[in-house]
């Protein structure tokens, strides 16, 4: 009986110590204390407490990466196409964002410069760049992300029918129980080894954040997982065959279309505008000189009439 109690106590102690204080969702977090608390550096001397039971907000992650880059620590390293005309990709890459207390992006971002722009809930620029006075009324929510994944070559064929369930399952397991019902549609091109995954939520839904999941996946595929357990990457399994990913491109679709301007107006349209402006100016000049000559002739004629007198 005594031995039995000893065994129970020993196993309880082992279980307690196995519950070490660490952050599984972020290898760069530092944790300590009882209860266990984890923080990350988001700037020199500035610690941000984080909740390691969920994916860490992208805004905090970007700050952390900028900080690590500034300290010369290691950091970050593009077929399907746009799902809709208003979809866009992140052409700017990383900047040093301003975050709300809960880790959401502030709608207006300036990267510590005088040049500012408005972002969506994924922190991706959705307007032209402007000066400090640019108005960003609200943080516009991204309700649809298209993940374009290219997988590494595999032996044999991939069963396209089973791919959707495999992807949804892999996303759910790896990204903190992400809701599989949001993995709405999958298209597959075996030749190009391209998998297009549409992840959507209802407009107005504010419980789930698609962009945290997308960011973790981007990191996973681009060689540097954020998770503590770096060995295990995002790799769906179809018929016992693991699909390792080698490329990812993310398209964002916001609840309101972005407001990029002009730059997309092709050279042709700009040329037409220039020609029209030049024609109008030329016309005005011709008119002006014609009027002046008319006046001069009138004056001369008047003089001639006066001469005989």
Ligand X SMILES: *[C@@H]1O[C@H](CO)[C@@H](O)[C@H](O)[C@H]1NC(C)=O
Footprint of ligand X (CB under 6 A)? 92, 95, 111
**Residue 124 beta carbon to ligand X: minimum distance, rounded to whole angstroms:** 10
| 164 closest CA partner among 182, 176, 178 | 182
Give the nearest distance from C-beta 8 to ligand X in angstroms: 57
Q: Which residue lies nearer to ligand X by CB, 67 or 95? A: 95
User: Smaller CB distance to ligand X: residue 92 or 255?
Assistant: 92
Label each residue of 109-177 as H, E or C. ECCCCCCEEEEECCCCECECCECCCCCCCCCECEEEEEEEEEECCCCCCCCHHHHHHHHHHHHHHHCCC
CB of 96 to ligand X, least distance (A): 6
Query: Judged by CB, which is closer to ligand X: 119, or 238?
Result: 119
Closest separation between CB of residue 139 and ligand X, Å? Answer: 17
In the complex, the smallest distance separating the C-beta of residue 121 from ligand X, rounded to whole angstroms, is: 17
Least spacing, CB of residue 89 vs ligand X, in Å = 13
Tokens of residue 18, six digits: 């196995």
Dihedral sign (CA 209, 212, 213, 215): positive
The smaller minimum CB distance to ligand X, of residues 41 and 175, is found at 41
Residue 40: closest CA among 66, 19, 76? 66
Exposed, middle or buried by CB within 10 Å (0-12, 13-18, 19+), for 48?
A: buried
- Closer by beta carbon to ligand X, 93 or else 240: 93
- Rounded CA-CA distance 197/186 in Å is 5
Decide whether 95 or 227 has the Cβ nearer to ligand X: 95
């Amino acid at each position: 009986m005594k031995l039995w109690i000893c065994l129970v106590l020993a196993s309880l102690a082992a279980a307690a110590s196995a519950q070490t204080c660490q952050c599984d969702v972020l290898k760069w977090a530092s944790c300590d204390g009882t209860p266990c608390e984890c923080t990350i550096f988001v700037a020199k001397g500035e610690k941000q407490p984080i909740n390691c039971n969920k994916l860490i907000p992208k805004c905090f992650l970007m700050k952390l990466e900028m900080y690590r880059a500034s300290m010369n620590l290691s950091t970050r390293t593009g077929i399907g196409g746009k799902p809709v005309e208003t979809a866009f990709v992140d052409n700017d890459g990383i900047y040093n964002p301003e975050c709300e207390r809960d880790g959401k992006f502030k709608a207006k971002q300036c990267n510590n410069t005088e040049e500012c722009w408005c972002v969506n809930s994924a922190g991706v620029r959705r307007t032209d760049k402007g000066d400090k006075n640019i108005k960003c009324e609200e943080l516009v929510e991204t309700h649809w992300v298209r993940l374009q994944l290219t997988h590494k070559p595999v032996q044999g064929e991939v069963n396209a029918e089973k791919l959707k369930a495999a992807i949804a399952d892999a996303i759910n397991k790896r990204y903190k129980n992400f809701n599989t019902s949001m993995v709405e549609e999958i298209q597959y091109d075996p030749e190009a080894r391209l998998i297009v995954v549409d992840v959507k939520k209802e407009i107005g839904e504010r419980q789930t954040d698609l962009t945290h999941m997308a960011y973790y996946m981007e990191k996973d595929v681009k060689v540097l997982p954020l998770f503590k357990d770096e060995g295990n990457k995002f790799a769906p399994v179809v018929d016992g065959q693991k699909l390792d990913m080698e490329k990812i491109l993310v398209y964002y679709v916001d609840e309101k279309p972005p407001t990029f301007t002009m730059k997309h107006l092709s050279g042709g349209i700009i040329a037409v505008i220039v020609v029209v402006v030049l024609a109008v100016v030329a016309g005005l000049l011709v008119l002006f000189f014609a009027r002046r000559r008319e006046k001069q002739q009138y004056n001369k004629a008047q003089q001639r009439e006066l001469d005989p007198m």
